[in-house]
Structure 1
């Protein structure tokens, strides 16, 4: 049996959109275009680095972005860079060290290079010592799981400004990918995983098991590979096809475990296979009871970053 409900829902949505387009023609588009004030966005081209290993002065935040406006970037007079710090490791009795944003520098678009679509592009990179120096904190205040924030603000030639607070769902989605605000998380260096029983708590928002790579299934959602060659395939069973691996029963939620042998494992790789319908979420918990990864729905396929500071 196939997942007909999901397919029919998408079909009806597409039909409704087509009918609206046919009925209204170009009139609605022309009206919206005429009444829309021209602004600017800052599109993410490549998020190069947003993890900062603690104690490594060479670690940095780095991103490549592109200015887009109706004048090929000429509407933007300058780009302001604001930095902040989020203290996520406040112990009982300690003071929260969260900081207000500070203006770190102002960039001149005349120094940017044109990208392949004719819009100005630039790469911004800032190392850990520079982040600390720009803010009212010290190296001793920075711990694993803390975060630095990097926010860009476009200043237009007519005085208007565009940044994170002006975003809509369209700008932050996959097409424009224009968040303006980025976070760089302080992480602990990788280490051998704790020996013992690890737990994966799994959820499916629709309540029909996991479909990681295809509409009806597609194998395990999470593959854990230990350095001794042991492989664990993990996921919720789907009712639409034979999963092809030892899946966990439970269409809305379920729990799986795997063993890390004592003294035999130097490393573990957690590889997420995908989230076809945007419904899969899960948490990875160490034998110590600490959550070292909390993966939300819609996460892209690829390696899952483990917070070794919490292992």
Structure 2
């Protein structure tokens, strides 16, 4: 029995020495003089840009500190689709004694595409006064796009309407049907369209309500106006359809810009308004 305890004691001492030697061989990271790993804090950012402009900050982390301010260097990757007039990059760098700095990307609303988005791809190239520099996440993609207020501009909106056959609108049936509807956030509903000579319209249409006659003025075109007051948060526009593929229309905002159009054959559904043009 004594021999068993003695053997166990020798084994315990040996294991203790083994683990002690392993602990002594561990490498302790040095945040001052060690190797510097630099990295973007993210690989992707969205930048919606309203008319008044917008910017996004992107952090760059360095694993070591420095007693002087450090400059961050980035370059635009050839895969970028954004043009230089669409953005501005500023590089404030990393302050002395700090591990994290930022770059700022600002979007230019006027230069951005009216529809869709554009991509700015940046590569992290250098962080000055950093020891034995290596990179982690060294690329970031910023997606820039216009962000427009979806509240309709207060004032007079004009809806211009045409029928290429010249017999008014037939939207859901061969004889007539509803017109374009506009539903405001306060519950107000407008309905506009060209009258048809084949049936009595259920709304205050534009045109004539007499039986079709070749001697009467034609039913080819007409315009309607609606007044959208201040404080309206949204307006939903809906087109009921084009039974004979003869109907076209355009919607003009108070500033005079055409913000939506429909051509003969446009299917029934919501009308997409270009809020950036209103």
Q: Which one has a bigger Cα radius of gyration?
A: 2
Name the TM-score, length of structure 1 as normaliser. Answer: 0.43
Q: Which has the higher helix share?
A: 1
